[in-house]
């Protein structure tokens, strides 16, 4: 889908009341199709877009000083307020300290939510009564708060307190289950070993659930998502073979549902209608149902929430700028998946920092028409062979074989980019006659141009 672009990295995306908000490290945005430096519109680390049309909206604030970056965005449960975190000391002309709030109705900067946070905010979660911040900080409003803190909606620091030894990178509030899920780089919480993931009492910060053995020491949780019954964690491993994939658990009792074994650090997850979408650079999912062998990177995956099976949905980006990670943030908005990151291409075409995908069959075309080879080993028999092509969002494609421009037959074949079966078709013609064959491929909505004609003379004798 046509999408505006940024001139830098998008670290966070959020949705509220028909608007998608984008935060990151960038100076400007530009229209779909525009090259870098063309038609640029100033937007300092923050921009807003219509969730459906993608139109750039006038909602704009400049987030500067500190490291000058927005790292976390989250709307209030009613969508009326957008909470913003990162490393910044000024919003427009107002002095702040790494966390603020905006009124969604008019994009105005609120005067009440202005906590003094000592370092970068990397994660935000909200409920109807509470706002949680997680990140690198150890002090809030002059009080000790080790990497996580909670506030009233108007910014009052609450007694909630937990001792976490390393930065928090992900938060998921589950008030109906009496839990705040916290993910990050940490190894110890409240004086006990807790690797990368813990569940806290949302009022006090005491530990209510642990997840021993879920993550090795050099694995961090970068993102958390949830539905009515379950939660999903995205992991990034530091070092070859360290757990990089996704894990699903039950909110009620903390039991693990599944854990995939994909390699290639996962940066973000979002769940929608029974499918878990992830942003990563997965390159080896050979031990995951529906997965692929070690090879090229797949920057987006879709998995069944029930059993982790990888579904046939493979849009892609390049690794892009910065650390060469590709996509870093996801949000679902009115049935459209928005993705932000450091990529500079999407599906092989220039597109920087931001993209979006609609859903349904036939949204992308097969990647290429096959090139058939032809031979005649028997009188009046011509055999065509070709390698199947593939499609990013349709597993089964239809191949149409034509002789001298007339449709002869159709064949269906399932394929992926890592498994392209050989296909054949044998035609019966007059011995000694000469014919030209083409093959086209369609997903039902999109048909690629016909292959180049392949001329062959049928054998005259056995």
Burial classification of residue 320, based on how many CB atoms lie within 10 Å of its CB (0-12 exposed, 13-18 middle, 19 or more buried): buried
Residues in CB range of 451: below 8 A, 6 or more apart:
369, 370, 371, 372, 386, 438, 439, 440
Task: State residue 374 phi and psi, 5-degree precision.
Answer: -135, 140
Beta-bridged to residue 426, according to DSSP, are 383
Strand boundaries in 273-335, DSSP class E: 275-282, 298-304, 327-333
CA 225 from chain centre, in angstroms, equals 12
Average pLDDT over residues 365-370: 89
363 confidence band (pLDDT: 50, 70, 90): confident
241 burial level (CB within 10 Å; 0-12, 13-18, 19+): exposed
- High-pLDDT (> 90) share of the chain, %: 94
- DSSP secondary structure code for residue 89 in this structure: S
What is the DSSP code (8-state) at residue 141?
T
Residue with tokens 């859903």: 359
Q: Please list, in sequence order, all residues whose beta carbon lies within 8 angstroms of the beta carbon of residue 272, skipping any fewer than 6 positions away.
A: 332, 335, 337
What are the tokens at 34?
A: 């525009």
Query: Residue 161 has which token pair?
Result: 């307190």
Closest among 95, 86, 93 to 46, alpha carbons compared: 86
Distance CA 318, CA 301 (A): 14
Give the mean model confidence (pLDDT) for residues 57-66.
98
- Token pair for 251: 């909110």
For 77-123, how does the pLDDT look when each residue is reduced to its tens digit (9 = 90+)? 999 999 999 999 999 999 999 999 999 999 999 999 999 999 999 99
Structure tokens at 188: 């110890």
Provide the pLDDT for residue 233.
Answer: 98
Residue-wise pLDDT for 156-175, tens only, equals 999 999 999 999 999 999 99
């Amino acid at each position: 889908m046509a999408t505006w672009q940024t001139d830098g990295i998008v670290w966070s995306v959020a949705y509220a009341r028909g608007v998608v908000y984008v935060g990151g490290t960038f100076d400007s945005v530009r229209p779909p199709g525009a090259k870098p430096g063309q038609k640029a519109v100033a937007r300092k680390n923050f921009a807003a877009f219509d969730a459906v049309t993608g139109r750039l909206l006038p909602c704009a604030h400049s987030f500067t000083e500190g490291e000058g970056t927005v790292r976390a965005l989250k709307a209030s449960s009613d969508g009326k307020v957008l909470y913003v975190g990162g490393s910044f000391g000024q919003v427009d002309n107002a002095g702040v300290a790494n966390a603020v709030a905006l009124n969604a109705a008019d994009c105005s900067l609120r005067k009440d939510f202005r906590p003094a946070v000592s370092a970068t905010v990397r994660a935000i979660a909200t409920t109807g009564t509470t706002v949680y911040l997680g990140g690198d900080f150890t002090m809030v409003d002059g009080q000790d708060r080790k990497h996580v803190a909670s506030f009233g909606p108007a910014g009052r620091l609450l007694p909630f307190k937990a001792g976490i030894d390393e930065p928090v990178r992900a938060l998921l509030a589950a008030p109906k289950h009496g839990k705040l899920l916290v993910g990050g780089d940490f190894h110890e919480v409240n004086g006990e070993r807790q690797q990368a993931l813990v569940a806290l009492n949302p009022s006090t910060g005491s530990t209510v659930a642990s997840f021993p053995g879920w993550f090795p020491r050099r694995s961090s949780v970068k993102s958390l998502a949830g539905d009515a019954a379950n939660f999903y964690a995205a992991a990034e491993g530091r070092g070859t073979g360290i757990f990089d994939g996704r894990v699903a658990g039950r909110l009620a009792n903390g039991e693990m549902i599944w854990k995939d074994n994909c390699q290639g650090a996962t940066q973000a997850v979002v769940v929608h209608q029974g499918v878990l979408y992830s942003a990563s650079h997965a390159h080896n999912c050979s031990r995951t149902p529906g997965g692929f062998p070690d090879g090229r990177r797949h920057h987006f995956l879709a998995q069944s929430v029930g059993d982790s099976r990888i579904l046939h949905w493979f849009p892609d980006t390049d690794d892009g700028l910065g650390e060469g990670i590709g996509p870093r943030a996801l949000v679902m908005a009115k049935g459209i998946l928005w993705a932000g990151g450091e990529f500079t291409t999407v599906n092989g075409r220039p597109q920087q920092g931001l993209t979006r995908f609609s859903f349904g069959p036939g949204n992308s075309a097969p990647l290429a028409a096959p090139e058939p080879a032809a031979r005649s080993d028997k009188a009046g028999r011509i055999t065509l062979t070709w390698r199947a092509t593939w499609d990013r969002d349709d597993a089964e494609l239809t191949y149409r074989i034509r002789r001298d421009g007339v449709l002869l037959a159709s064949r269906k074949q399932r394929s992926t980019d890592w498994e392209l079966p050989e296909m054949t078709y044998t035609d019966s013609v007059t011995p000694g006659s000469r014919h030209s064959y083409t093959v086209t491929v369609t997903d039902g909505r999109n048909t690629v141009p016909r292959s180049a004609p392949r001329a062959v003379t049928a054998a005259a004798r056995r």
